[in-house]
Structure 1
Amino acid sequence: MTAASELIAAHQPAWSEPDTLREVLDRLRWLPPLVEAEDCACLVEELAAVARGEGVVLQAGDCAELFTDSAPDRIRAKAAQLHELGGRLRRTGRAPVVVGRLAGQYAKPRSRQTEAGDDGVEIPVYLGDAVNDRAPTGTARRPDPQRLLAAYAHTSRGLRTLASGPATYTSHEALLLNYERALLRPDPVLGGVFASSAHTVWIGERTRDPGGAHVEFAAEITNPVGVKIGPDATPADVVALVARLAENGAPGRLSLVVRMGVDRIGERLPLIVQALGEHADRVVWLSDPMHGNTVRSAQGLKTRVLRRMTDEIERFCAVLRLHGVHPGGLHLEITPDGVIECVDTGADLATGPDPCRYTSACDPRLNPHQAVALVDRFAEVLATG
C-alpha cells in the first residue's frame, strides 16, 4: 500500500514559503506530543462500548476555532457546555462519551478557493487560523507556514486548561497532512504510531477518497478515527473505507459520521448499511444533521433550520434501528454564545438569522438553546426505542 506521504493530498493550502514550511515541520517533529497515547487508547475502549450499544457519543464544538478561543475562559465555557449537553444524554440509559471539537479545530476545507475582498478583488478564501487570517485582504489571506507553530501553541494552551477542569477528549478534522504527520509519535500502548495532535481525528467529506492520502494517513495511526459520509458516498465507497480502517481493528476504532441531509438520508443510508452487512456493527454511527441541511436565508446568509436537523436525526435513528444497528450519537457545531446563526423553522428564513448576532468564522452553529433542543430530541428517540 502506498504511504500517505507519497500520495497527492487534496485540499491542501498553497503555502507561500516552501523553505519556511520545511523549517516549521522540522520544529514540530521535535515538540512534545499534545495528547497522550494512553488517553487515545482509552477513547477506543469507550467507543467500542458505544458500538455495542452501551454508550452514546456527543462530539461537538466550534465550526472553525479562532486562536483567541484558546484563552482559558473560552475553553472552560465550551467544555462546560459540552458536559452539560452530555449529561442530558444519560436519560438514554447509556454512558455518555463527550468529545470536543476544540483545542485544535483550526483548519477548514472550502468549496471555493477564492472570494471577493473588500475592494472587489479576488483573494484566497479563509482556510482557518492555522493557515491564514480572516481579514479580507490578499496579504492576510496568504497561507503562512508559521501559523502551524501557532496552531500547536494554541492547542497546547487549550489542553492545559482542559487538564485543570472536566476531562474532555479533543478532536478536529485531520486536514493539514503536513502538520498531522509532523506530530506523529510512537504509540507505547498499542504499537505503531499515533496522531498526537488530538485524541481522535476525522476525515472530511471532501477528502474521504478510499485511495487518497487522508484515508491512508488515518489507516496508519492507532487513534480512533471518523469519516464524514455525505449523500454522494456510494455503498462501495463506504465498504472500502470500513475495510481499510476498521475491518481488522477493534470495534470503536472507526466512526461513520452521516451528513446526508433530511431529504436524502432515507434513500441513501439504507443502501450503505445493507452493503456493510455484519460489518455495520463494528463501527460507531454518528449523525451530523447540520452539514447536509445548509441553506441560504432571504438575506443571503448561510444558515441551518433546526426543524430539518431534528427530522434528519429521527430518520437516521429509524434507518439504523430497522437494520438492527445502534445509533451511536451526534456530531454537532455549537457555541456557548448567544448567537443567532441557525433558525428554528423554515418560516424564519425570511427574517433570520440575525447578522448582528452571527459571529461564526465559517459555518452557522447552534446556540445553547438550540443545542439543548437537538440533544434532548435525540435522547428522547433513543430512550423510547
Structure 2
Amino acid sequence: MSTSSTWSPSSWRDRTVAQAVKYEDPAKLQSVLGKITKLPPLVTPSEIERLRHQLALVQQNKAFLLHAGDCAESFDACTHENITAKLGLILSFSLILIWGARMPVVRIGRIAGQYAKPRSSGTEKIGDREVPSFRGDNVNGFDPDDRKPDPERLLSAYFHSTTTLNCLRGLLASGFASLNHPRDWSLSHVRSPILRKEFERISESISDAMDFSRTIGADGGPSFELGGTHTVQGEVDFYTSHEGLLLDYEESLTRHLPVPPALRKTSDEKAWYNTSAHFVWIGDRTRQLDGAHVEYFRGIRNPIGIKVGPSMQPDELVRLLDVVNPDKVPGRVTLITRYGAEKIAQFLAGHIAVVQKAAHPVVWVCDPMHGNTLTTSAGVKTRHFRTIVSELVACLRIHSECGSRLGGVSLEFTGEINDEGFSVTECLGGSMELNEQELGLRYQSFCDPRLNFEQSLDVAFVISEFFKSQRQGKGNLDAANVLLSELGKRA
C-alpha cells in the first residue's frame, strides 16, 4: 500500500472532522492522549497482517467472514460471563457456517473497543429535558446527568479493551474453541427445541468424524479446531474491531512498527499500524472524501471496512476506494453494505457494477441490521427477524445475478443471558417467535436492538442452508429460494 509523503497519523487534523466531540478542557484531553501514546499496543503487526491475508482468502472464495457483536459495548458489561457468552455465540455461529459451507470462517468481533456511537443529532429529548446525546462510554455517560464529554473515559476505554482482550486470549488459549466440547459454548437457555436439536446433530457428527480420524491416526491437532489458521496449538484466530470514530484516540494508538519479516520489501521496513484493533471501519456518517476520517484511514496498514448505504453514489464509492487502496492490495478493503430490505434492490447492483469495472479487490459483506430498525406502537426501538433475513437473501441473490459473491455477514448480536438464564428480548420473530409484548422482558441494549442467542443461530442455519444447497449442485438462485423457504419456517 502506497502512503503519500504528506500523510502522517495527525494529518487528519487539517480536515473537517465529522461527528467531532467537543471537550471543555483541551489541555486535559492532550494529557490523557499523551498517556495513551506511551501505553503498549493492544494488537500486533503480525496479527494484523494475518487478518489481511485471511480477508484476501475471503475475496478468493476460500473463506467466509463473520463480523459480529454489540452495536456499542459498555464498560459495565466487561465481565467474564458476558465476554464468554459473546465468544461462545460467535463460535457456535461459526460452527454452523463451517458445517454448511465446508470452508473456514474468519471471525472478527465488534469487541474490545466498540465503545463510541455516532449520532444523527447532538442532543436528544429525555422526558421533558433536552440533553447532549449519549455518544458511548468512551465519551460520556448514559445517565442524562452525565453527558459532559470526559477525556478520562478514553483512558478507561483503553483499559477495558485490554481486559477484554486478555479474557478472550485466555479463553482461546485454554481450548474454549475446541470442537471436542462445543456444548461448553452453552445452549442451556435456548428454548427452541428445533435449534437445540439441529446444533446437537452437527456437534455429534463432528465428534464422530474426529473420533474416526483419531482411530485411524489422522488426528491433525489444531487443524481440527474451528477453521482458519492457527498461531498456537489449540488456539484459533479471533480478531477485534471497532468503528474508528474518535480520531484522537486512534492516532494515539497508531505506531510506526516493523513489518513482519516475511512481508518486508527491505530489511528495515516499517509501517503505520493502528494497534487499537485488528480491523477498523469508516461509518456511513464519516466517509466524506475530503474529510478527516478518510484522510486518517488511507495511511494505516490495517485492513479496513467502509459502510456503504443508500446515500453512497457509485462514482463516490470508486473514488473512495482509489483513495484508501490506490495499489489495489487484496484483503485491504471490506465493503459493508447496509441499505434496508426495501432499498437493497435499488442500490446494490449499481455499487457492485462500478467496483467490478474499476477492478478493485474487495470483500462484500451484508449488514442486514442497520437499515431495518423500526419503532413499535409503544415507542420501543426494535428490528424484525424476517426483515433482517429478507435483506440477507436479497443480497445473496443480487450478488449471484451480478457475477459477484457475498463474502460475509455483519450482525449485531449478543449471547448474554440474565441471572435467570434467559436471552435478551430486543428483536422480533425468529424460531422463538418473540412478539412485541415480550420486548420489555429483557431489553438490555442502551443502543441498537440486537439479535439474541436463538435468533442469531436462526440466521446461521439459514446461511448454512444456502451454502449446503450450493455444495449439492444447485445454482445460487436455487439456493436463495431454499433460503426463502427456510425463512418461512423460522420467522
Q: Tell whether the structures are fold-level matches, with TM greater than 0.5.
A: yes
For residues 210 and 135 of structure 1, the distance between their equivalents in structure 2, rounded to whole angstroms, comes to: 35
* Structure 2 residue matching 1:103: 3-state secondary structure: coil
Q: Which residue of 2 aligns with 1:363?
A: 448
Q: Which runs of 4+ in 1 moved over 6 A?
A: none
Pairing 1:82–2:90 present = yes
Pairing 1:316–2:325 present = no
For residues 312 and 296 of structure 2, the distance between their equivalents in structure 1, rounded to whole angstroms, comes to: 20
Q: Which residue of 2 aligns with 1:121?
A: 129
* Cα shift at 1:95: 1.1
Q: Give the TM-score taking structure 2 as reference length.
A: 0.75
Q: Which residue of 1 aligns with 2:312?
A: 233
* Cα shift at 1:187: 3.1
For residues 348 and 272 of structure 2, the distance between their equivalents in structure 1, rounded to whole angstroms, comes to: 33
Q: Which residue of 2 aligns with 1:168?
A: 238
* Cα shift at 1:379: 2.5
* Structure 2 residue matching 1:256: 3-state secondary structure: strand
Amino acid aligned to 2:300: I
* Cα shift at 1:320: 1.2
Listed as ranges, the matches of 1:230-379 within 5 Å are: 230-279=309-358, 282-337=361-416, 338-344=423-429, 351-352=436-437, 354-379=439-464
* Cα shift at 1:68: 2.1
Amino acid aligned to 1:61: G
Amino acid aligned to 1:186: H
Q: Which of residues 95, 116, 128 in structure 2 aligns to 1:107?
A: 116
* Cα shift at 1:352: 4.3
Change (3 A) 1:214 1:277: same
Q: Which residue of 2 aligns with 1:22?
A: 30
Q: Which residue of 1 aligns with 2:164?
A: 158
The question of whether the paired residues in 2 share the 8 Å contact of 1:298 and 1:350 is answered with no
Q: Which of residues 29, 38, 41 in structure 1 aligns to 2:46?
A: 38
For residues 78 and 31 of structure 1, the distance between their equivalents in structure 2, rounded to whole angstroms, comes to: 27
The question of whether the paired residues in 1 share the 8 Å contact of 2:82 and 2:415 is answered with no
Q: Which residue of 1 aligns with 2:255?
A: 185
Q: Which of residues 93, 97, 100 in structure 1 aligns to 2:106?
A: 97
Change (3 A) 1:280 1:229: farther
Change (3 A) 1:93 1:349: closer
For residues 350 and 372 of structure 1, the distance between their equivalents in structure 2, rounded to whole angstroms, comes to: 18
For residues 412 and 441 of structure 2, the distance between their equivalents in structure 1, rounded to whole angstroms, comes to: 19
The question of whether the paired residues in 2 share the 8 Å contact of 1:88 and 1:379 is answered with yes
Q: Which moved more, 1:272-281 or 1:258-267?
A: 272-281
Gaps in structure 2 of 5+ consecutive residues: 1-5, 173-236, 264-269, 417-422, 471-475, 477-491
Q: Which residue of 2 aligns with 1:47?
A: 55
Amino acid aligned to 1:109: P
* Structure 2 residue matching 1:327: 3-state secondary structure: coil
* Cα shift at 1:245: 2.0
Deviations 1:189-211 (A, max 9, x none): 26320111000001111011122
For residues 52 and 358 of structure 2, the distance between their equivalents in structure 1, rounded to whole angstroms, comes to: 17
* Cα shift at 1:350: 7.7
The question of whether the paired residues in 2 share the 8 Å contact of 1:172 and 1:202 is answered with yes
Pairing 1:136–2:206 present = no
* Cα shift at 1:72: 2.4
* Structure 2 residue matching 1:206: 3-state secondary structure: coil
The question of whether the paired residues in 2 share the 8 Å contact of 1:303 and 1:353 is answered with no
For residues 106 and 54 of structure 2, the distance between their equivalents in structure 1, rounded to whole angstroms, comes to: 7
For residues 24 and 130 of structure 1, the distance between their equivalents in structure 2, rounded to whole angstroms, comes to: 12
* Structure 1 residue matching 2:335: 3-state secondary structure: strand
Q: Which moved more, 1:371-380 or 1:123-132?
A: 371-380
Change (3 A) 1:142 1:237: same
The question of whether the paired residues in 2 share the 8 Å contact of 1:59 and 1:331 is answered with yes
* Cα shift at 1:176: 0.3
* Structure 2 residue matching 1:109: 3-state secondary structure: coil
The question of whether the paired residues in 2 share the 8 Å contact of 1:89 and 1:376 is answered with yes
For residues 195 and 308 of structure 1, the distance between their equivalents in structure 2, rounded to whole angstroms, comes to: 35
Say what the alpha-carbon RMSD is for the aligned residues. Answer: 1.7
Amino acid aligned to 2:256: P
Deviations 1:159-182 (A, max 9, x none): 111111224200000000000011
Q: Which moved more, 1:261-270 or 1:240-249?
A: 240-249
For residues 280 and 273 of structure 1, the distance between their equivalents in structure 2, rounded to whole angstroms, comes to: 11
**Identity value in percent:** 38
Q: Give the TM-score taking structure 1 as reference length.
A: 0.95
Count of matched residue positions in the alignment of Structure 1 and Structure 2: 380
For residues 57 and 361 of structure 1, the distance between their equivalents in structure 2, rounded to whole angstroms, comes to: 27
Deviations 1:98-124 (A, max 9, x none): 110011100000112112345x22111
* Cα shift at 1:281: 6.1
For residues 280 and 202 of structure 1, the distance between their equivalents in structure 2, rounded to whole angstroms, comes to: 21
* Cα shift at 1:280: 5.7
